[in-house]
Structure formats: C-alpha cells, structure tokens
Amino acid sequence: MKILSALSCILCLMMWACTASQPNPIDTEWNTPFGTPPFDQIKLKHYKPALKKGMALQKKAIEAIVNHAEEPSFENTLEALEYSDLPLSRVEYVFENMNDALTSDALQALSKEMAPVLSAHRDDILLNAALFDRIQKVWDKKGELNLSSEQLKLLDEWYKAFVRNGANLNEEDKTVLRKINEELSLLSVRFSENVLKETNAFELVIDNEADLAGLPGASISAAAEAAEERGHHDKWVFTIQKPSLIPFLQFSERRDLREKMFKAYIMKGDHGDELDNKDILSRIAALRVKKARLLGYDTHARFVLEENMAKEPGNVYKLLNQLWKPALKRAKAEAEDLQAMIDEEGNNFELEPWDWWYYAEKVKKAKYDLDEEMLRPYFQLEHVRQGAFDVANRLWGLQFVKREDIPLYHPDVVTFEVKDADGSHVGILYTDYFPRASKRGGAWMSNYRGQYIKDGEDIRPVIVNVGNFTKPTAEKPALLSLEEVETLFHEFGHALHGLLSQCTYPSLSGTNVPRDFVEFPSQVMENWGLEPEIMKSYARHYETGEPIPDDLVEKIRNAKLFNQGFETVEYLAAAFLDMDWHTLTEPEEQDVIAFEEASLNKIGLIPEIIVRYRSPYFNHIFSWGYSAGYYSYIWSEVLDADAFQAFKNTGDLFDPTLASALRKHVYEAGHTEDPMVLYQKFRGEPPAIDALLENRGLN
C-alpha cells in the first residue's frame, strides 16, 4: 500500500509538473492558419495570466524606453511605445470579443475583476512623467525631423493622448484621475452586463395557439423552437431579442401582448432591482463631467468632440436641429395616417408606441402592396452575404474563400480568407450572425488582430462581423428582413475598413479613426446593397432560386421613404439625449427619468414615438465608446449619401476611378490624415447635405 501511495504521489507530481509547464495558448505563438486565435485550446483559466503577462511585458518595454541611454527620437520613443502594446492587445482582443459574443457568468466576473486592473495599467503609461518628457522632446523638435506624414500623425496622436489623459496634471490631480478612470471602467462593464441579463431574462410564453393570430409562420416556428430550448414543451416563446421582438410588434393581432413585449424592451435596466442601471449611468455621467473639468474642458462632449470631425457640441446640435424640424413634421403626418387606419378598422383607441410597427405594416401594405414577409423569402442570409462579397469583388476584385481549417469559437461562425484581385492574402473574416444568450445585442465589427507593419512585415488583419439576425428553423433557412439586409452590408463595410488597411502603425490603422468618420465606410456600403441592380443579383427565392421580381423591387423603391419620419425621429431623439447627458457642466448625479423626460420634451418628441434607446439600456453611450458620439451615424450619412451620389452621377455604380480613390483614401488610409482631408481627396470636394435630405425625404 505504501508503495502504491508513493507511486500515486509521484504520478500526481508528474501530472502537475506537466500541466504547469504547458504553454498558455493565448500568449504564445498561434500555430494556426494565418495566425488566427486557437479557440479550440483557449479556456477561461488562460485569460488572467495572459493579461497579466501582457501588462508585464508592456511595463518592461516602457521602462526600456524611459531608461534609453540615447536622446529621445521618433524611433526609440514613439515607435517603441506604439509597438509595446502588441502582446497585451492580442490577448485583450480575444478576451473582449469573447465577453461580447460568447460570455458566461465566470467570464463576466473576470471582466469586472480585470477592468480596473487594465485601467490602472493604461494610466501608469499615460501618466508616466518620464515617458511624456521623452515624447515632449520629440514633439518640440518635430519640425527638424524628416518624418513622413504618417509618422507626424502618430507623434501628434500620442502627444495629444498623453495631454488629454492628464500628463500635465499635478500629482494630486493625477491620483484623482486614476480613481475616476478605475471607477468608470468598472461601471461601464456593469452597465452592459445588466442590459444583457435583462434581455435574456424576459420571455413571453404563449400556450394558446389563438394568441399567435397574425404572426408569420417563420416567427411561430422560431418561437416553438425557442420554447423547446427553454423547456416549455408544446408552447411558444417570444423574447426581446430583435429577431423575435420586431416581427411580433409588426404582425401580432394581440394588442395587449404587443404592449407587453414593447414595454419589456423599453424598460430594460429600469425596474429598481439589482439589474437597474439608473444609478450606474447617472454616476457615469457625473464622473465624466468631473474628468472633463479636471482636464480643462467644461463638458465631456467638448472633450470628446475635440478629436472628432464635429469639433465642438454646437456643430452637432446644429446638424441635429437642421434635421429635426422636417423629420418631426413628417413623423406627425405618419402618425395621422396610422390613426386613420385605426379609426377605419372601427377601433376606439389612440395610437400608442406599441401600435406603431403594427399599423405601419398595414399602411405600407395598403399604400404600396408591400409587407416584410413578402420580402424575406428572397433574402436568405447566405445569399445576402454573397451579395456583399460580390459588391467588394466588383469594386476592387476582392475574393472571399471559405476556410474549414481555422479554429472557431462557436458552431455558428463561418470563416473566409480574403484575397486581393491578384490573389494575394488580404486578411481573415469571421461571420457570426445569430442571437444567443451568451451574446450581447446589436451588430458590430471587431478585430482579433489589426493590420500594421513591423520590421518590414505587413501583418494582415483578422476581422469579425457579429450580428443578431433571424435564425434558421427546422423548416427554413435564415431569411432576413430588409433592415437586417442593410445591417449585414453595414457591418461588412466596417469589416472592409479593417481588412483593406494599409498603414504602418496599429493605432492608426483600419477603423481607428474619429467616431464620426468611422461610420462612413460602413454606411456607404448599405447604398450598394439596396440598389435594384445589385439586389437582383443576390435576392433569390430560397425555394425556387428565382430572382426577386421587378415589381417587388419597384415596390421597395416606391416605399423607400415610407416611415422615414418615424425612423429619423426616434434616432435623432437618441442623439439629442446623448448630447444632453454629455453637455452637463456640473459633476452631479441626476434623476435619470426626470432628466430623460426633460431632454425629450425640449425637442417636442411626440408620445407615439419612444426614443430609440432609453438611457437605462443605451449601451452605445454608457458602455461601447459612443458617448457624445451617437450623432455620428447621421453625420456619416451626410458623407455616405454624398459619396454614393458621386458614383451614381458617373452612370456606373462601380466606376473604377472613384472605386480606386475610395479604397486608397478611405478604406486603406486609416487615421493617417485628417478625415475631411481624406474625404476630399476621394471626392474632390467637401460633402453636401443635399443627398441625405433627398434620401430621407426631408428636403
């Protein structure tokens, strides 16, 4: 027995030693095709040590820069600083993307644990006086240096980053700033986590088939499958995930259930329980004011916008107000049309927000003989995705080759190698399109590796497009709504911005551009997706393979401006709300509901329309980096409408000269120059608002 016990101990020690010596798959070389993340090997336990190792390596690199014996130069200071982040950022990309797309309670807990640690690490760099002194010395003599325009841009961005993050503060204020940053990092994680939990918590369980009246077959089938997955046998479950919610609001004849679903959606984070976000967001807004004032700005918005195309809050409000009046007028006329439909049906009630989608569908059907379910059979997801690929091919010769040999993080993910017209490797694109409880809502593009050049080697990007689109069912493939088609093309535009990047430095490459410019390369792609000529190439009936008929395309064109008042007003209201939160001048916590009501009353939002995002679930501005920047979509729409009009004016939607200029000065250029300079290099002149007003029917 003693011998067996001893052998057992030896075996345990050997197993422990073997396990302890195994390399961490995240922070070692990725021996995978194209250096993609080894998702099949990465476990929860790997993240924390990999993040700590990445921070330690960067700290060591910073110490080497600070203690460099030679005089500060662009190479030994700025370039060394720029590349010092590579080991850490590689780990962070995987960690953050997984927390967004495939999270768990344990991963969320680790995110909350690491958020203040990573914030402190960044502060240690940006508040390092000796490091800033070296940057300052290079900055002071930049006129004497023979730097390229991209090198000058990098120097400028790093110098501003240090100044804007407190490098010139005294030690006492630096300590205050560190505490603010630490608290903000944790609050934003909690905010997003609460929204996800609220979204996953709600379910409308229907056990009476009569209560499904009006709903399309695809929605009913999806609800039946959702019920089975959740243990509700022989029932139907609807959720407030968009692919379930929107068709329910559009087609359910049960007004009381529409109200229940709608209110569940708009009350996320506003129940006064452990998931309530009101105190969190109020604290975030107050801390942002405090931070802005500490750094010498009167508001958070002024701090943010200094780096954007808009430059200052007045310019944002000017654009929003220019659009608000005609949009509100149109929305009021639309509300009258919907009320007339209600009255014609003999109903004795006033139009409410949960009625809008339902009666809008009825009015659209009556006016244009068009409804959403007529279109879905022609928008099979795989065909729409191929349509987006074909646009990129016709513009620039890009090829998308499906790969089966790249590790995936979830079975829903499909991977493509992107090649240029000459067959050379451009990058890797993951697509992950279906909702699940472990994925946050919305749609987005992100990097697993951004593009950059180091030691003469062009490191190509690894990009992901994530969505929450309509899922396939046992009977049908994934059939998208028209809005989902637009979203797919939109996120594909972001992906192209990352994939086509041709920059030297990682912090200037791809989508690392000002917030109100980053939406331009994505939104302009939507224009191609909805052009009849392009649509007919990918919109084919999922059963027959027949292309979408001309009369249906014509109906889509005729209905293009339908409901634009509603869509513009609900969006603009959210942009106003964002700006109002971030033009606060005192660091005082607000009564969230009273503040929100005052903001929306000020612009005269009609009661039949609810702001697109109420404050308690406005992830864009309280968690995702769009604070004082939600206006960016409409700002960029001025650019994308103007740009696409340029193509239309040539008579060729794929005009090679314009396409080449768009690729060179926008998709490849990153943040190597001022965005307006880049736009005018592409377009030849400043953007005009006329095309936007025409597109939205507001002229």
pTM for the whole structure: 0.93
Model confidence band, residue 11 (pLDDT cutoffs 50, 70, 90): very low
pLDDT recorded at residue 244:
96
Residue 38 has a CB neighbour count (10 Å cut-off) of 17
Spatial contact of 568 and 323, defined as CB atoms under 8 Å apart: yes
- For residue 5, pLDDT over 70 is answered with no
Residue 139 has a CB neighbour count (10 Å cut-off) of 19
Spatial contact of 323 and 552, defined as CB atoms under 8 Å apart: no
In the 3-class helix/strand/coil scheme, how is 395-430 assigned residue by residue? HHCCEEEEECCCCCCCCCCEEEEEECCCCCEEEEEE
Alpha carbon of 218 to those of 241, 435, 565: distances in Å?
15, 16, 29
> Cα(658)–Cα(683) distance, rounded to whole angstroms?
8
Alpha carbon of 575 to those of 312, 334, 641, 695: distances in Å?
15, 21, 19, 19
The predicted model gives 610-615 an average pLDDT of: 98
> Cα(191)–Cα(368) distance, rounded to whole angstroms?
42
Model confidence band, residue 2 (pLDDT cutoffs 50, 70, 90): very low
Coil vs helix vs strand at 274: coil
How far from chain centre, in Å, is Cα 631?
Answer: 14
Alpha carbon of 553 to those of 98, 327, 386, 484, 654: distances in Å?
39, 26, 19, 17, 20
Dihedral, CA atoms, 411, 414, 417, 420, nearest 10 degrees? -170
Render pLDDT for 381-420 as a digit per residue (tens, 0 to 9).
999 999 999 999 999 999 999 999 999 999 999 999 999 9
> Cα(385)–Cα(413) distance, rounded to whole angstroms?
13
Render pLDDT for 519-560 as a digit per residue (tens, 0 to 9).
999 999 999 999 999 999 999 999 999 999 999 999 999 999
> Cα(550)–Cα(283) distance, rounded to whole angstroms?
54
- For residue 111, pLDDT over 70 is answered with yes
If phi > 0 it is left, if psi is from -120 to 50 it is alpha, else beta; for residue 234 that is left
pLDDT recorded at residue 372:
84
For residue 58, what are the contacts with CB-CB under 8 A and spacing of at least 6? Answer: 84, 85, 87, 88, 121, 125
**Helices within 230-352 (DSSP H only):** 242-251, 255-266, 278-294, 300-305, 313-344
pLDDT recorded at residue 373:
87
pLDDT recorded at residue 22:
81
In the 3-class helix/strand/coil scheme, how is 332-361 assigned residue by residue? HHHHHHHHHHHHHCCCCCCCCHHHHHHHHH
Portion of the chain with pLDDT greater than 90, in percent:
94
Q: What are the beta bridge partners of residue 400?
A: 418
The predicted model gives 669-690 an average pLDDT of: 95
Residue ranges with strand state E in 126-227: 204-206
Q: Which two tokens stand for residue 372?
A: 């959403």
- For residue 304, pLDDT over 90 is answered with yes
Place of tokens 């039949």: 608
Coil vs helix vs strand at 204: strand
Residue 375 has a CB neighbour count (10 Å cut-off) of 19
> Cα(135)–Cα(76) distance, rounded to whole angstroms?
10
Portion of the chain with pLDDT greater than 70, in percent:
97
> Cα(37)–Cα(49) distance, rounded to whole angstroms?
17
Find the length of the chain.
699
Pairing assessment for the beta strands 444-449 and 414-419 based on DSSP bridges: unpaired
Q: Which two tokens stand for residue 623?
A: 């968690």
Q: What are the beta bridge partners of residue 457?
A: 454
- Active site residues per annotation: 491
For residue 318, what are the contacts with CB-CB under 8 A and spacing of at least 6? Answer: none
Spatial contact of 287 and 588, defined as CB atoms under 8 Å apart: no
> Cα(693)–Cα(327) distance, rounded to whole angstroms?
10
How far from chain centre, in Å, is Cα 483?
Answer: 16
Alpha carbon of 303 to those of 103, 123, 307, 313, 572: distances in Å?
32, 18, 8, 10, 22
Q: DSSP assignment, residue 72?
A: P
Spell out the domains of the chain, with CATH numbers in brackets: 26-168 (1.20.1050.40), 202-266 (no CATH), 285-370+566-622 (1.10.1370.10), 377-558+632-695 (1.10.1370.40)
End-to-end CA distance of the chain: 91
Render pLDDT for 16-31 as a digit per residue (tens, 0 to 9).
444 446 899 999 999 9
Spatial contact of 654 and 395, defined as CB atoms under 8 Å apart: yes
Q: Which two tokens stand for residue 311?
A: 């430059």
Residue burial 227-264, b: 16+ Cβ < 10 Å; e: rest: beeeebeebbbbbbbbbbbbbbbbbbebeebbebbbeb
pLDDT recorded at residue 699:
80
> Cα(466)–Cα(12) distance, rounded to whole angstroms?
43
Mean pLDDT of the chain: 95
Residue burial 284-293, b: 16+ Cβ < 10 Å; e: rest: bbbbbbbbbb
pLDDT recorded at residue 21:
60
pLDDT recorded at residue 344:
96
